[in-house]
Structure 1
C-alpha cells in the first residue's frame, strides 16, 4: 500500500501530497504529529529508506539544537529522540512496495511510484 507520512503545516509535505494525488493511486495519509510513530515503526521506516537514523533528523529544529546537537548519540537514542519529538522527523516520507523515499525535493517521490 502507498503511504505518506505527512505534516499539513509543511510546504514540502503538501507538495509531496499533491504529487500522490496527481498520480491517481490510492494512498493512506499518516499525520505522524497527531499519531506519533512507535520505535518499531520508525526503525522499519529507516530500514526501508536505507539510511542512518541521524539522516532522518531535522537538525535545524530548536528541539534538536537545544537537546541533542553535539552529543554522541547511538542510533537507538536518535530514534528515541524522534519518537519523543516527532517534529524532528524529516518529511514527507512516502512508502510504496517495501521501498521508501524522503520527499526532499518532493519530485523524489516519483522514483517509487
Structure 2
C-alpha cells in the first residue's frame, strides 16, 4: 500500500512605503507710494503656494511551499491451506513388501469357439 500526502503552505507578505514631498513657495510683493513727500503708502502682498506629492509603493511577496510525503507499507500474508470437507486426508503409508517367489499361473482352458470350425 502506498499513501501520498501533500501539504501546501502559502505565505504572503505585503510592504507599503509612502513618501510625501511638500514644496512651499512664498512670493512677497511690496508696493510703496509716496505722495508729495507727505504720505507714504506701502502695500505688501504675500503669496504662498504649497505643493504636496505623495508616492505610495506596495510590494507583495508570495511564497508557496509544497511538501509531499509518501509512505509505503508492505504486508506479507500467509494462508495455511486446510481441508474443509470431512477429515483431513492423511499421507499414504507405503509399506515395503518382501519379494516373494513368482507363482506359476494355473492353466485355464480357453473357451471353445463354436460355429467357426475350430472345435
TM-score, scaled relative to structure 2: 0.12
Of Structure 1 and Structure 2, which has the larger fraction of its residues in helix?
1
Higher strand share: 2
Higher relative contact order (CA 8 A, sep 6+): 1
When Rg is computed on C-alpha atoms for both structures, the one with the higher figure is: 2
Task: Provide the TM-score with structure 1 as the length reference.
Answer: 0.13
